[in-house]
């Protein structure tokens, strides 16, 4: 095999003259996490609204929710990013479009928005499934007490629905982190982009990509453990797991 | 207090309630019984507007339930409902279950709500379980909490939708005892149930439904001793076997 | 805003877009799906075998592929496949592999991890009694799997497998990072050559949407048919 291994490459200075290769990778990781977290906040907000909308008895609201989900699910994420990055500035009024094109960190904001809406459609499906899995009786009981529809969602349905969908929601968050890599196509220097840059500059292909792989795996493990802790913190006593203790009078 | 007048309801093309009319006066206890699918659960859910109906009128304390202008949440706050599957809110403790609607719907203070909650828990015999969660209680205990939760709103009438049908036999009595005490205290009650012993003990009237129609509507004694319709007779003979 | 929308550029590019671009996309999707399901089923069987030397590497592989972005994997295999080819064939230098071959290997191996999870659920969804009955008749493991378990597993998971194929179809757009000419790559090349980004990218989005949406409707129809048969 005529490949020259050089694991010391990480401590050499990269062509930007300031950081070592290792530091550039860590900078990229920072952008990956920032993009993913910002997009996730957007996704949770809009996804919850749309997921709830799809479970309401108002047909126009439910149909809007369905259209929203179908739109963002049937177009590849990369194409959606291109639409936000290349097409949006062109179809807006000229001065707004120009301002967008000259925005510093434009690729970051575009990536957050594109990834946020893409993920929100998937979150919406989870929220909808979680609400529907609760027996209809729960909402009836809330309404029978005189709570309004919005109150029944806020105090009864959503608290339980979110607990139920915590595992698939964790998967979705991990997907969000991985999908941030797609933004390298619009110039975001996140982790994968940095690894690619390192490969192009130093020719140490496998060292660069191994490092990136290891970092993604570490992030994965950290998030999984974090979510398990959240699951335990939010668990409702007596609901899942051990059967209720014998009643004492 | 509660008046149903020529109420009919369709699910798509299937008619599930056919021209139902009856009245429940203040302080009366009326039992609604009948075979499965007779529409009794649907009927009782129409009374507090949980199920819509297409024809007829339902009035509760002079408020029309079907009227578009009626503030349904406000009306429902005055009527208590107890469900077959208890429907306690599993993510809230027993006490939180009792105070949630008091605070959010009636605007009571935290202290007042908890005081009332404790009084009612005492009344149903579950004072020590205030900080437990529904998942830690037995079925009978959950249903008693559900009754307390409904009573916490100080309702003018109580609706019961098969309150003991989902309970193991040994827990049915603890719930029925609470309901009997409630009836003796003068609460207006509409109870969908198969428990004929309960009916005989405290019901003033029995309404018998079959296939969406009210077939019989008679004082308790008359219903049991001299049922007029064949369907009621058959039903009684089957259900009173055990 | 759409005053000078140039439909012409779309119409003129249709042959290139579809004959060059879409055929690449569809061929890659079809072959990667088949390869992915085969390899995925193998992985699932390894994981369910109960033998550590088989189940641990399989689990490790699946977890690795699922922890890492597809974009990174595309880069990995782009550089790795020539070296693997050299190692397999014993050549003196890394083998030159075409864009299609590299993509095919990448997508097959990557999506196999996802297909394996689906097949694992599918195999477990076949009642234990079925295996018992097959064994009582004297069937070997291979026979039980081939004639009894896998056919049922496939039928049970068909809608999920098809949905994953639709996801694969959309994922192929990522070959863009290697400047490969799939459907999106073709649209992009025209967009940059003619300066018509809005038209080409909107058109690409519409085409992807129509194909994915129509496919998902078919899957839903299939799902309701299966539900009725049960």
- In this structure, whether the domain defined by A32-189 belongs to CATH 1.10.3720.10 is answered with yes
The answer to whether B30 touches B191, Cβ cutoff 8 Å, is yes
User: Cβ A76–C177 below 8 Å, yes or no?
Assistant: no
pTM as predicted = 0.81
Provide the pLDDT for residue B30. 95
- The verdict on A167 touching C (C-beta cutoff 8 Å) is no
The answer to whether A223 touches A177, Cβ cutoff 8 Å, is yes
User: Cβ C71–A76 below 8 Å, yes or no?
Assistant: no
User: Cβ A147–B138 below 8 Å, yes or no?
Assistant: no
The answer to whether C200 touches C191, Cβ cutoff 8 Å, is yes
- 3-state SS of chain B is CEEEEEEEEEECCEEEEEEEEEEECCCCEEEEECCCCCCHHHHHHHHCCCCCCCEEEEEECCEECCCCCCCHHHHHHHEEEECCCCCCCCCCCHHHHHHHHHHHCCCCCHHHHHHHHHHHHHHCCCHHHCCCCHHHCCHHHHHHHHHHHHHCCCCCEEEEECCCCCCCHHHHHHHHHHHHHHHHCCCEEEEECCCHHHHHHHCCEEEEEECCEEEEEEEHHHHHHCCCCHHHHHHHHHHCCC
Helix (H) / strand (E) element for A245: namely none
Nearest CA in chain A to B152: A145
Provide the pLDDT for residue A243. 32
Q: How many CB pairs under 8 A join A and C?
A: 108
Locate the domains of chain A by residue range: 32-189
Strand partners, B14: B11
User: Cβ A195–C93 below 8 Å, yes or no?
Assistant: no
Please report residues of A whose CB lies closer than 8 A to that of C94: 2
Nearest CA in chain A to B138: A247
Nearest CA in chain A to B140: A247
Provide the pLDDT for residue A244. 33
**ipTM (interface pTM):** 0.89
The proportion of chain B whose per-residue pLDDT surpasses 90, expressed as a percent, equals: 65
Q: Which of B87, B128, B135 sits opposite A141 (nearest CB)?
A: B87
Q: What is the pLDDT of residues C14-53, one digit of tens each?
A: 888 888 889 999 999 999 999 999 999 999 999 988 888 9
User: Cβ B100–A137 below 8 Å, yes or no?
Assistant: no
User: Cβ A140–B73 below 8 Å, yes or no?
Assistant: no
Q: What is the pLDDT of residues C119-158, one digit of tens each?
A: 999 998 887 778 878 878 778 888 888 888 888 888 889 9
The answer to whether C183 touches A75, Cβ cutoff 8 Å, is no
Q: How confident is the model at residue A241 (pLDDT cuts 50, 70, 90)?
A: very low
Q: Please give the mean pLDDT across all residues of chain A.
A: 88
Nearest CA in chain A to C90: A1
What is the mean pLDDT of the segment spanning A78-105? 88
Dihedral of alpha carbons C103, C109, C114, C116, sign: positive
Tokens of B20: 């139902």
What are the structural domains of chain C?
7-226 (1.10.3720.10)
> Residue B110 and residue C45: Cα distance in Å, rounded?
58
Q: What is the pLDDT of residues B26-51, one digit of tens each?
A: 999 999 999 888 899 999 999 988 88
Distance, in angstroms, between B76 CA and closest chain A CA?
5
């Amino acid at each position: 095999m005529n490949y020259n291994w050089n694991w010391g490459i990480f401590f050499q200075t990269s062509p930007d003259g300031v950081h070592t290769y290792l530091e550039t990778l860590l900078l990229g990781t920072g952008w990956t996490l920032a993009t993913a977290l910002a997009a996730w906040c957007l996704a949770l907000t809009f996804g919850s609204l749309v997921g709830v909308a799809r479970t309401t008895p108002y047909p126009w609201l439910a149909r809007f929710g369905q259209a929203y989900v179908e739109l963002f699910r049937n177009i590849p994420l990369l194409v959606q990013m291109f639409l936000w990055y290349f097409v949006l500035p062109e179809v807006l009024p000229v001065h707004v479009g120009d301002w967008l094109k000259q925005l510093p960190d434009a690729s970051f904001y575009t990536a957050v928005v594109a990834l946020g809406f893409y993920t929100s459609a998937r979150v919406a499906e989870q929220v909808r499934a979680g609400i529907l899995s609760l027996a209809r009786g729960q909402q009836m009981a809330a309404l029978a007490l005189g709570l309004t529809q919005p109150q029944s969602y806020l105090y009864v349905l959503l608290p339980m629905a979110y607990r139920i969908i915590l595992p698939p929601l964790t998967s979705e968050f991990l997907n969000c982190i991985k999908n941030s890599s797609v933004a390298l196509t619009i110039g975001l220097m996140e982790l994968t982009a940095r690894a690619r840059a390192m490969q192009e500059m130093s020719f140490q292909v496998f060292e660069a990509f191994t490092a990136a792989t290891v970092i993604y795996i570490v992030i994965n493990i950290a998030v999984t453990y974090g979510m398990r802790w959240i699951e335990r913190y939010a668990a409702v006593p007596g609901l899942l797991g051990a059967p209720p203790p014998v009643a004492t009078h | 207090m509660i008046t149903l007048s020529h109420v009919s309801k369709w699910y798509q093309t299937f008619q599930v309630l056919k021209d139902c009319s009856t009245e429940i006066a203040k302080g009366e206890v009326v039992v609604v019984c009948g075979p499965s699918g007779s529409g009794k659960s649907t009927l009782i859910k129409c009374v507090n507007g949980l199920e819509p109906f297409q024809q007829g009128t339902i009035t509760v304390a002079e408020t029309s339930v079907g009227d578009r202008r009626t503030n349904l949440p406000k009306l429902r706050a005055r009527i208590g409902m107890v469900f077959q599957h208890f429907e306690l809110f599993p993510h809230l403790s027993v006490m939180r279950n009792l105070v949630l609607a008091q605070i959010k719907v009636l605007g009571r203070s935290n202290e007042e709500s908890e005081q009332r909650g404790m009084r009612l828990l005492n009344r149903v015999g579950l004072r020590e379980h205030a900080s437990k969660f529904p998942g830690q209680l037995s079925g009978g205990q959950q249903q008693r909490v559900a009754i307390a939760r409904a009573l916490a709103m100080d309702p003018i009438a109580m609706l019961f939708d098969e309150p003991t049908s989902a309970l193991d036999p040994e827990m049915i009595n603890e719930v029925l005892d609470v309901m009997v005490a409630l009836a003796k205290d003068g609460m207006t009650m509409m109870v969908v149930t198969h428990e004929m012993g309960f009916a005989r003990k405290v019901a003033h009237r029995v309404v018998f439904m079959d296939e969406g129609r009210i077939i019989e509507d008679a004082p308790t004694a008359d219903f049991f001793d001299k049922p007029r319709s064949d369907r009621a007779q058959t039903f009684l003979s089957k259900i009173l076997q055990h | 805003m759409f005053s000078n929308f140039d439909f012409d550029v779309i119409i003129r590019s249709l042959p290139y877009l579809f004959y060059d671009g879409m055929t690449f996309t569809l061929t890659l999707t079809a072959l990667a799906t088949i390869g992915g399901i085969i390899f995925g089923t193998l992985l699932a069987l390894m994981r369910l075998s109960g033998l550590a030397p088989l189940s641990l590497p399989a689990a490790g592989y699946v977890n690795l592929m699922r922890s890492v972005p597809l974009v990174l994997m595309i880069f990995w295999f782009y550089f790795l496949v020539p070296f693997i080819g050299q190692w397999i064939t014993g050549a003196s230098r890394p083998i030159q592999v075409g864009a299609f071959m590299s993509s095919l290997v990448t997508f097959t191996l990557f999506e196999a991890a996802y297909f394996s999870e689906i097949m694992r659920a599918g195999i477990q969804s076949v009642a234990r009694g079925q295996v018992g009955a097959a064994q009582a008749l004297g069937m070997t493991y291979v026979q039980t799997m081939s004639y009894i378990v896998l056919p049922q597993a496939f039928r049970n998971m068909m809608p999920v497998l098809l949905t994953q194929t639709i996801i694969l179809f959309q994922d192929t757009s990522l070959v863009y990072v290697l400047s490969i000419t799939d459907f999106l790559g073709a649209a992009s090349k025209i967009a940059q050559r003619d300066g018509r980004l809005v038209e080409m990218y909107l058109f690409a989005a519409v085409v992807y949407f129509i194909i994915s949406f129509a496919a998902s409707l078919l899957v839903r129809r299939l799902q309701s048919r299966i539900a009725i048969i049960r």
